[in-house]
Amino acid sequence: MQLGLKEYSILENRVLNTIKMEMMDYNRIGELNLYLRHINMYDRVFENRKLDVRKPKSGKIAVIGQSNVKLNHLLGIGKDLEFHKDQFEFCLEYENIEKYDFNKLKNGKYSFILVGPMSHKIKNGNGYSSMIERLKSEDGFPEVIELRNENELKISKSNFRQALENILDRYEEYYLN
């Protein structure tokens, strides 16, 4: 099909407006990546993710906090976003979190700490009111990202995906600027 300039311009506006509206709808429900894949745009838009995105921060991502989400679901989300399962270290049960050696996160092997709900009775709290406060305040720890649903700490599939996408987006900005 070939259109004249006027018809082409009208069609182009309709297509762009439709895509914009659908992108907003899918973004609102946290499924924008699925929509972009559906219209064959994901790889075109995010080609840097596959090539270079993890070079400046090739370290591990610690995920610490009580979670009702199964580990294999979290790993599946990571895999969907092209993270390797070895890039993660999970500590998702209160009993294990209380004994976790948070000092090991200072060794430079870790790029990010994703935190969910945890007890205030934590080993090596060093006088802080909570371990999250210590992780955010004390030098040597990697960046801390709190996983929240509204106002409470909670590890969910959607906020875990969002945190990983935000990490990837930051690196894309680094490469595009």
Residue closest to 157 by CA, chosen among 92, 66, 68, 41: 68
41 and 63 part of one domain: no
In a domain? residue 53: no
Quick one: 102 and 74 in the same domain? yes
Q: Are 52 and 43 in contact (CB under 8 A)?
A: no
Structural domains in the chain (count): 2
Q: Provide CB contacts within 8 A for 43, sequence distance 6+.
A: 50
pLDDT tens column, 119-129 = 866 665 566 77
Asked if the structure places residue 171 within a domain, the reply is yes
- Burial (0-12, 13-18, 19+ Cβ within 10 Å), 53: buried
Give the number of other CB atoms < 10 A from CB of residue 154.
18
Check whether 79 has a pLDDT greater than 70. yes
Domain span at 17? 5-45
Q: Is residue 110 part of a domain?
A: yes
- Are residues 67 and 138 both part of a single domain? yes
**Do residues 33 and 11 both lie within one domain?**
yes
User: What confidence tens digit (pLDDT) does each residue in 13-72 have?
Assistant: 999 999 999 999 888 888 887 888 888 887 777 665 543 444 434 678 999 999 999 999
- For residues 170 and 130, membership in a common domain is answered with yes
Give the β-pairing of 110-115 and 143-146. Answer: parallel
With H, G, I as helix, E, B as strand and everything else as coil, classify residue 80: helix
